[in-house]
Amino acid sequence: MKILENLFEYDTSDLEAVADDYWTDASPEEVDAVLAPRFGASEEGYNSVLAEGIEAAAEYFDDVDLYAQGEVYELLDGAGVEATKLGGGSSGKIASEYTTEDILEEARAQVEGEVAYVAHPAHAERVAAIGSDMGMGEKLFVPDEVKWPSDDPEPWVRSPVLWAPREVAARTYYSVKSSLPASL
């Protein structure tokens, strides 16, 4: 995982522009599922962009299973889009306690095949790296729109200045954790 790259937006130079306002590195036949982790805790914030992204990805990839976390799932459900909700159930955790790794781990138990991740451009690097380490692939379907929901209940998603320190810490933690032997 690149610790300091793609912190505020995703470098799309290696991706293809598709479906009007999205970038991907996957062809339609390569993907079996589409997954969107939330970005912040507000349906009105960036999660609405992610829900639209999942719908666009479903059209682009055609006949794929859809998985979404919390607020993204609620928006899809409200629009009548069939998806599997991640980050709930019997774990005993509340929504804000789920990490990106928790969500991808939950998905890994349900997903078969290659996944394309719909994620905030600043979150995409870590999402794809963790998903790849878990054997679900690292394909992306990234929205072109980069915005920071200034009124989100989770302060670290409100601006790039608040995002960067937390994201660098999360990437560093995961990079170290994934390089250690499982026996530790």
pLDDT in tens, 52-108: 999 999 999 989 999 999 889 999 999 999 999 998 655 555 666 788 998 999 999
Residue 25 near residue 18 (C-beta atoms within 8 A): no
DSSP per position, 147-163: ---TT-SSGGGS-HHHH
| 91 Cβ contact list (under 8 Å, min separation 6) | none
**Nearest CA among 137, 140, 147, 102 for reference residue 18:** 140
Per CATH, the number for 15-179 is 3.40.50
pLDDT in tens, 15-54: 888 877 898 999 999 999 999 999 988 888 899 999 999 9
Q: Distance (Å, rounded) from C-alpha 113 to C-alpha 171?
A: 25
Distances, alpha carbon 54 to alpha carbons 84, 91, 163, in Å? 12, 25, 23
Sheet-wide strand order for 115-117: 16-18, 22-24, 139-143, 115-117, 33-36, 65-69, 84-86
What 8-state DSSP symbol labels residue 61?
A: H
pTM: 0.89
